[in-house]
């Protein structure tokens, strides 16, 4: 899966309102994906920090793309478990997202997502498990 395929997947997976996030693919492999979320005041609360709802959506999307890259195709899937830790607020600069698949079975995939602020500090850490609809 290349960057073009990831961009197509983002357009296909994200609802119109989430496409406004402007997620940018950085790299993709069978073990994971890296994305960049550009800072935008549109994504922020009144205190200029990116909304946790935005970050949770990005974590969900990143894991779906990582699992899809690992299995080599886009399959309908849904989270059955997601635990998200918001470590620090992001008030400026891009957010760098990495999602890695740790376990992959016929109908399930699990892994973790880490989001770093521009200084390289952890802003969000999430773990998730997804169930896939049989092809």
| Tens digit of each residue's pLDDT, the chain (135 residues) | 676 777 787 787 777 887 888 999 898 888 899 999 999 999 998 889 999 999 999 999 999 989 988 988 888 889 999 999 999 999 999 999 999 999 999 899 999 999 999 999 999 999 999 999 875
Per the rule left: phi > 0, alpha: psi between -120 and 50, beta: everything else, 124 is: beta
C-alpha span between 111 and 90 (Å, rounded) = 23
N-term to C-term CA, the chain: 18
The β-bridge relationship of strands 77-86 and 32-37 is unpaired
pLDDT of residue 135: 59
pLDDT of residue 39: 95
pLDDT of residue 81: 96
pLDDT of residue 9: 77
- For the whole model, what pTM was predicted? 0.89
pLDDT of residue 113: 98
pLDDT of residue 87: 96
Domains and CATH numbers, the chain: 3-132 (3.10.129.10)
At 53, list the tokens: 């709802």
């Amino acid at each position: 899966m290349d960057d073009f395929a990831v961009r197509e997947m983002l357009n296909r997976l994200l609802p119109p309102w989430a496409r406004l996030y402007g997620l940018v693919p950085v790299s993709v492999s069978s073990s994971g994906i890296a994305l960049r979320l550009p800072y935008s005041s549109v994504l922020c609360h009144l205190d200029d920090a990116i909304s946790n709802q935005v970050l949770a959506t990005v974590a969900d999307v990143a894991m779906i793309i990582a699992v899809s890259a690992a299995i080599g195709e886009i399959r309908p899937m849904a989270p059955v478990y997601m635990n998200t830790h918001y470590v620090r607020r992001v008030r400026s600069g891009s957010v760098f997202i990495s999602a890695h698949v740790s376990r992959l079975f016929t109908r399930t995939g699990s892994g973790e997502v880490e989001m770093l602020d521009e200084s390289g500090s952890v802003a969000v850490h999430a773990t998730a498990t997804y169930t896939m609809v049989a092809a």
